Amino acid sequence: GDSVTQMEGPVTLSEEAFLTINCTYTATGYPSLFWYVQYPGEGLQLLLKATKADDKGSNKGFEATYRKETTSFHLEKGSVQVSDSAVYFCALTSMFSGGYNKLIFGAGTRLAVHP
């Protein structure tokens, strides 16, 4: 079945460091890909998305490019801030029969940014 694999955390960085969180996927067909972020005590927020190969999603300085040839969707940010500390989930949509979508999540990567 469809699946998402993320790099294990926690990832610990100093403020203004470069961030990469790796994400690879296995899927039949052409899924849409997402990054969601979960801040402490909150639900998940959609960070960015890409719906087809070579699309680049971007938001709040974060970017990720849909790479079909490597089945990857790595998250990057050039300069992280303490406020970026959170858990980041890579996800894809997997279609049920009948057209309903199901989000398949990776295990999540905890990011801790220190001043």
Partner 1 sequence: DTEVTQTPKHLVMGMTNKKSLKCEQHMGHRAMYWYKQKAKKPPELMFVYSYEKLSINESVPSRFSPECPNSSLLNLHLHALQPEDSALYLCASSQDAGTPLHFGNGTRLTVT
- Beta carbon of residue 59, minimum distance to partner 1 (angstroms, whole number): 12
99 makes contact with partner 1 (CB under 8 A): yes
70 makes contact with partner 1 (CB under 8 A): no
> How many residues at the interface with partner 1, by CB under 8 A?
24
∠ CA 32-38-42, nearest 5°, is 130
Beta-strand (E) ranges in 1-115? 3-6, 11-14, 19-21, 23-26, 33-38, 44-50, 56-59, 62-65, 75-77, 86-95, 101-105, 109-114
29 makes contact with partner 1 (CB under 8 A): no
Tell me the per-residue interface mask from 72 to 91 with partner 1, x by CB under 8 A, - otherwise: -----------------x--
Indicate the DSSP class of residue 72. B
Interface residue list for partner 1 (CB under 8 A): 32, 34, 36, 41-46, 49, 89, 93, 95-96, 98-103, 105-108
